[in-house]
């Protein structure tokens, strides 16, 4: 399954400073969800300091997850079933002023 | 001036001064009157607070409150355009007040040279119609959010770092908008929090976001346009890209604005205690 | 300051003053040095020129040119945040110079209190690395465009009216970017041209667009990020929507930047003669 | 054929101050182009002072036409063949400062 992963607000610093990552997930018996995507990302994209991105089975506090620019809370959160060509954006919250 | 209706309370000097706003369709004398009768509180007179204060002072707003506990430093001047070389060492609120009053001597300005705490914030926030969060650290952002929810005030919040900015309006009751805690029930771990002092910020990024805060404040106070509520604007100055994301509604489980809130009398610290390194750890003051 | 490389020409005071920019990854001391060695010309010290000048003056730019032929009027102050009540009646360039020098006494400032014409513009534009079009009328926009194309200068152009703004970079040669005439070979009919004096404008909209002009100037001069070329940003402040449209490339048929240009020695009036009503008809001065 | 017409920069003032107009064009033997769309707009949407929007068979100078956010000059201009659900944006150039 093809997805576009995007990172903003500094989250990209954990992913080689690259803001956009087109990825192809391998075929799977069970449907891909954000929960399983996070595991895949930890194993395949996130090489250093995973605790700055993932906490337990979710993202760490202070990171918003957007599916096609919509807050994952308006969808099924971790259980959202990914669809072909979805855009998943991870935004780290800024605090400077 | 022609075509200006006469049933209003503006003086001829005001009609002249604000004529380029008055003639705006969707604005007009009655929006200008509402602005004159309104007040706004700017918390943080730094990178965001500078343009926000300058544009609100210019606009014909009636009363402006300015909060900061810091003094002007030379390293502020690359982005904090309300301050001057001659005000380095003065308090930021005094420096900002000076510039605002030079632009608009009719504006009433209240200054608060203090560190906001859960003890003093409610007493300040209650005197204003809208609050602008122009601060630079996580703890104060939770504090301001809680105070705004408890006081039923809309909160126009912006933040910047490096080449990026974020903007939204929290606690906009007319549209069941979420508060900061609805989105961020838990504070981020301290080691993930960067500040402008740590990693820098480019001045015009502050200018863009701070101007947009003033714009949202004027729209909100005059009741024109669509307030940026249930949405967040993400700005990336390096690629010059702008993106609006759709946010969740008010959360029934929220600790401060939910149906069974645990924060009821005064603001509370965020659940996961942490401090920023931009200023002395503030855990103790909350 | 730690981690700042030493092979640079900045003084300790400069390193301190601009520290929050120097520590930016993608920026650093060498970008700051390039900024110090650079110059920018702001044409129009009004709604857009105010924030653009303030942010460029603050940034550590070496030399800033300011052009305007007008005087500060009370009706400017609702949006032109570089001016003061005390400078009403003074020339805008003098008023803007005063504020910029108060913010940054190291900045060299050249002022041009004059109306630009096809006779004098080339002699001014040639002294600067980048030009910012912050003017308020069609005729001058063609004039500036032609001068920039003939002088091979990038042109950062913004415009505002009511609650809206537009921004792009013209004549960006590195990317074969179009010029103003490539997009608008013919000037619009006079009766379709509105000005801020006619229909008004909201101050923070100027603040947003002018700040973004300063941002593009800094990126362009320091060679960081993606310049807004072959693209145009459309801002609607009322709905808080931002949209980037994709523009045509440089047009071979363009009268000034094309393969067989008719405008070769000095700027020409737009083909369909017209004048704005914001100032005396300028057809005669071209 | 369903289209979304949008207006910005003041062009909306000629179309009842409405920035977005979803429209359905009638079936046609020949494919719809922007050229024929402009005729349809003049007859169906543009009630007053058409000369402020249309000049000859095109838009007046100072109006940009964007097809799905791309300058029509990069496509076929007036001859661009409209597709179902296209977004056509008409932007009047601003000059204030
Ligand atoms: Zn809440
Ligand atoms: Zn050209």
Mean pLDDT of chain B: 92
Q: Taking 50 as the threshold, does the pLDDT of residue B276 lie above it? A: no
**pLDDT score, position B95:** 98
C14 touches chain B (CB under 8 A): no
**pLDDT score, position C196:** 76
Q: Taking 90 as the threshold, does the pLDDT of residue C198 lie above it? A: no
> Does residue C4 lie in a domain region?
no
> Does residue C242 lie in a domain region?
yes
Q: CA of A71: which chain B residue's CA is closest? A: B247
**pLDDT score, position C285:** 35
Q: Taking 70 as the threshold, does the pLDDT of residue B274 lie above it? A: no
Alpha-carbon distances, residue D36 vs A86, D48, D57, D69, D80 (angstroms): 36, 19, 9, 20, 10
Angstrom distance (rounded) from CA B31 to CA C231: 35
Q: How confident is the model at residue B25 (pLDDT cuts 50, 70, 90)?
A: confident
**DSSP codes of every residue in chain C:** --S--SSS---HHHHHHTHHHHTSTTTHHHHHHHHHT-EEEEE--STTHHHHHHHHHHHT-SEEEEEE--B--GGGTTT-TT--GGGTTSBHHHHHHHHHHHH-TTSEEEEEES---TTTHHHHHTT-SEEEE----HHHHHHHHHHHHHHT--EEEEEEEBTEEEEEEE--GGGT---HHHH-SSPPPGGG---HHHH-B-HHHHHHHHHHHHHHHHHHHHT-S---BSEEEEEETTTTEEEEEEPP---TT-TTTSSS-S--SS----SS----SSSS--GGG-
pLDDT in tens, C135-190: 999 999 999 999 999 999 999 999 999 999 999 999 999 999 999 999 999 999 88
Query: Which partners does chain D have (≥3 C-beta pairs < 8 Å)?
Result: C
Q: Taking 80 as the threshold, does the pLDDT of residue B171 lie above it? A: yes
> Does residue C119 lie in a domain region?
yes
Domain boundaries, chain A: 2-92
Taking CB atoms and an 8 Å limit, are A64 and B236 in contact across chains? no
Domain A2-92: state its class. Answer: alpha beta
Q: Which residues of B touch A88 (CB under 8 A)?
A: none
Taking CB atoms and an 8 Å limit, are C166 and D69 in contact across chains? no
Q: Which residues of B touch A91 (CB under 8 A)?
A: 166, 234, 245
Angstrom distance (rounded) from CA B89 to CA B91: 7
pLDDT in tens, C202-244: 999 999 999 999 999 999 999 999 999 999 999 999 999 999 9
**pLDDT score, position C26:** 85
**pLDDT score, position C69:** 97
pLDDT over 70, % of chain B: 92
Taking CB atoms and an 8 Å limit, are C203 and B86 in contact across chains? no
Angstrom distance (rounded) from CA D90 to CA C238: 18
For residues D66-78, give the mean pLDDT.
Answer: 97
Q: Taking 80 as the threshold, does the pLDDT of residue A51 lie above it? A: yes
Rg of chain C in Å (alpha carbons)? 19
**pLDDT score, position A47:** 76
Q: Taking 50 as the threshold, does the pLDDT of residue C282 lie above it? A: no
Alpha-carbon distances, residue C199 vs B8, B9, B21, D92 (angstroms): 20, 22, 8, 15
The boundaries of the domain holding residue C137 are 12-285
pLDDT over 90, % of chain B: 84
**pLDDT score, position B286:** 34
Q: Which of B184-193, C63-72, D84-93 has the lowest mean pLDDT?
A: B184-193
Residues 246-275 of C with CB under 8 A from B: none
Taking CB atoms and an 8 Å limit, are B20 and C201 in contact across chains? yes
Residues 24-63 of D with CB under 8 A from C: 51-52, 60-63
pLDDT over 70, % of chain C: 92
C68 C-alpha to center of ligand 2: Å? Answer: 25
B264 C-alpha to center of ligand 1: Å? Answer: 12
pLDDT in tens, C21-64: 999 988 999 999 999 999 999 999 999 999 999 999 999 999 99
Residues 108-147 of B with CB under 8 A from C: none
pLDDT in tens, D27-55: 999 999 999 999 999 999 997 789 999 99
pLDDT in tens, D51-71: 999 999 999 999 999 999 999
More confident residue, B284 or B108: B108
Q: Taking 50 as the threshold, does the pLDDT of residue C110 lie above it? A: yes
Q: Which ipTM did the prediction report?
A: 0.95
**pLDDT score, position B282:** 40
Q: Taking 70 as the threshold, does the pLDDT of residue C280 lie above it? A: no
Alpha-carbon distances, residue B138 vs B55, B188, D24 (angstroms): 25, 8, 50
CA distance B101 to chain A (A): 23
For residues D66-95, give the mean pLDDT.
Answer: 97
| Number of the ligand closest to the Cα of C258 | 2
Alpha-carbon distances, residue B93 vs B62, C23, D33, D74 (angstroms): 18, 27, 59, 52
**pLDDT score, position B5:** 56
pLDDT in tens, B220-234: 999 999 999 999 999
Taking CB atoms and an 8 Å limit, are C164 and D9 in contact across chains? yes
Q: Which residues of C touch D9 (CB under 8 A)?
A: 161, 164, 166, 234
B261 C-alpha to center of ligand 1: Å? Answer: 9
Q: How confident is the model at residue B271 (pLDDT cuts 50, 70, 90)?
A: low
Query: Tell me, what CATH number does B162's domain have?
Result: 3.40.50.720
CA distance B10 to chain A (A): 35
**pLDDT score, position C272:** 54
Taking CB atoms and an 8 Å limit, are B189 and A89 in contact across chains? no
How many secondary structure helices (H) and strands (E) does chain B include?
Answer: 10, 8
Domain count across chain B: 1
How many secondary structure helices (H) and strands (E) does chain D include?
Answer: 1, 7
Angstrom distance (rounded) from CA C11 to CA C23: 16
C244 touches chain B (CB under 8 A): yes
**Nearest to residue C155, comparing CAs of C137, C175, C170, C139?**
C170
CA distance B237 to chain A (A): 12
**pLDDT score, position B272:** 54
Q: Which of C46, C76, C145, C161 to mutate to test the interface with D (most CBs of D within 10 A)?
A: C161
């Amino acid at each position: 399954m093809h997805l576009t992963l995007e990172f903003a607000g500094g989250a990209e610093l954990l992913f080689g400073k690259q803001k956009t990552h087109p990825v192809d997930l391998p075929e799977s018996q069970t449907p891909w969800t954000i929960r399983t995507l996070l595991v895949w990302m930890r194993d395949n994209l996130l090489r250093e300091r995973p605790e700055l991105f993932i906490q337990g089975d979710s993202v760490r506090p202070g990171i918003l997850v957007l599916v096609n620019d919509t807050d994952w809370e308006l969808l099924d959160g971790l259980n959202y079933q990914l669809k072909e060509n979805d855009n998943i954006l991870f935004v780290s919250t800024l605090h400077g002023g | 001036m022609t075509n200006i209706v006469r049933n209003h309370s503006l003086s001829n000097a005001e009609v002249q001064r604000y004529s380029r706003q008055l003639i705006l369709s969707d604005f007009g004398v009655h929006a200008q009157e509402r602005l004159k009768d309104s007040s706004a509180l700017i918390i943080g007179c730094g990178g965001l607070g500078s343009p926000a204060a300058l544009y609100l002072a210019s606009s014909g707003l009636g009363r402006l409150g300015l909060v900061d506990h810091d003094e002007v430093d030379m390293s502020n001047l690359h982005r904090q355009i309300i301050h001057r070389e001659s005000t380095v060492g003065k308090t930021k609120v005094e420096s900002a007040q000076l510039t605002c009053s030079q632009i608009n001597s009719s504006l009433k300005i209240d200054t608060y040279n203090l560190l906001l705490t859960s003890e003093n914030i409610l007493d300040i926030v209650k005197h204003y119609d809208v609050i602008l969060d122009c601060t630079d650290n996580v703890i104060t952002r939770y504090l301001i959010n809680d105070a705004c929810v408890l006081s039923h005030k809309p909160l126009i919040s912006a933040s910047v770092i490096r080449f990026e900015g974020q903007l939204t309006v929290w606690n906009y009751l007319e549209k069941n908008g979420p508060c900061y805690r609805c989105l961020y029930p838990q504070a981020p771990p301290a080691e993930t929090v960067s500040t402008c002092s740590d990693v820098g910020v480019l001045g015009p990024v502050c200018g863009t976001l701070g101007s947009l805060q003033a714009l949202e404040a004027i729209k909100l106070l005059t009741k024109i346009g669509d307030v940026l509520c249930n949405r967040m604007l993400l700005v990336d100055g390096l690629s010059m890209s702008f993106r609006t994301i759709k946010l969740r509604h008010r959360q029934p489980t929220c600790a401060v604005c939910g149906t069974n809130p645990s924060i009821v009398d005064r603001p509370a610290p965020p659940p996961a205690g942490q401090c920023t390194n931009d200023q002395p750890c503030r855990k103790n003051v909350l």
